[in-house]
């Protein structure tokens, strides 16, 4: 980690109440950023905020990204309970943040849901709600941030997508399609904002040890983990060449790099963090 490389920058992270979103919040704060942690679960996001109060940094979060209550120091973290599917609420949030805390330098879109089902069993509600969070939510937050960043000719937006956006998955059509849409939206936004010096990138995780991943498991954790790592021919999935499921911290480190000045000449990039699971070249 490059110490304090985000000192003085204000970041907004959605889906910050658990998993990858919480890990991203910690990674940015550890590097000196002030972070607005946003989640529609007010209890979870307030607990994340509370874990940063008044003590020295004590290490990284537990595997799975669930907070431990251990205090962390770095930048300040403030919680906001907002549903990213509500465009009006998102615009009000960004306006309030900029008026009271300062100009946004970083936006990280992490909020997402998964409603697994074969297409012939997928309900209209599950399809619509998946896109409302995973795609519309990215549009709402990115639009609100981009309007302000472009005028300042400075900023970085990262959307956490999925390797499922590039590889078909059984029972994940809605999730994969929503993530593919969010990925292409972010790249198009990056093209539009490039001359304004606002960079827009995507981080696409593979299987990661989060509550979302574990909702897919029907076996004990150890057996399910082994199946993911080894692959499952019956569902046309290869395994993970690196031999492990990602920890949320692995994804957060990629995000932290892309929002930093070390990535100042990178935009419209889709960085897969999946242990080689998609066999990309």
Q: Catalytic residue at 175? A: yes
Cα(15)–Cα(149) distance, integer angstroms: 21
- Phi (first) and psi of residue 111, to 5 degrees: -50, 130
CA 158 – CA 108 distance, rounded (Å): 5
Q: Given the residues 72, 175, 236, 272, select the one marked as catalytic.
A: 175
Q: Would you call 77 helix, strand, or coil by DSSP?
A: strand
120's CB contacts (< 8 A; 6+ apart) are none
Q: Encode 212-251: b = buried (16+ Cβ within 10 Å), e = exposed.
A: bbeeeeeeeeeebbebbbeeeeeeebebbeeeebbbbbbb
Q: For residue 99, what are its two tokens?
A: 């008026």
Residues marked active site are found at 175
């Amino acid at each position: 980690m490059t110490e304090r490389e985000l000192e003085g920058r204000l970041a907004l992270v959605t889906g910050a109440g658990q998993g990858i979103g919480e890990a991203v919040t910690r990674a940015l704060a550890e590097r000196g950023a002030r972070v607005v942690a946003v989640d529609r679960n007010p209890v979870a996001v307030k607990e994340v905020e509370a874990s940063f109060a008044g003590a020295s940094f004590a290490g990284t979060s537990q595997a799975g990204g669930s907070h431990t209550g251990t205090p962390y120091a770095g930048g300040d973290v403030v919680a906001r309970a907002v549903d990213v599917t509500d465009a009006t609420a998102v615009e009000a949030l960004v306006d309030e943040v900029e008026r009271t805390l300062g100009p946004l330098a970083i936006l990280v879109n992490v909020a997402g849901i998964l409603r697994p089902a074969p297409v012939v069993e997928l309900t209209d509600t599950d399809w619509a709600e998946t896109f409302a969070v995973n795609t519309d939510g990215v549009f709402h937050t990115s639009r609100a941030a981009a309007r302000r960043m472009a005028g300042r000719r400075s900023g970085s937006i990262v959307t956490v997508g999925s390797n499922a956006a590039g590889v078909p998955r059984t029972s994940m059509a809605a999730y994969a399609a929503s993530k593919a849409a969010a990925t292409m939206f972010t790249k198009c936004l990056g093209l539009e904002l490039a001359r304004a010096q606002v960079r827009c990138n995507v981080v696409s995780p593979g299987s990661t040890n989060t509550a979302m991943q574990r909702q897919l498991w029907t076996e004990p954790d150890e057996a399910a983990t082994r199946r993911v790592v080894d692959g499952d021919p019956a569902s046309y999935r290869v395994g993970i060449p690196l031999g492990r499921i990602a920890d949320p911290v692995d994804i957060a480190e990629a995000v932290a790099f892309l929002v930093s000045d070390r990535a100042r000449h990178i935009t419209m990039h889709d960085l897969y963090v999946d242990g080689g699971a998609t066999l990309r070249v």
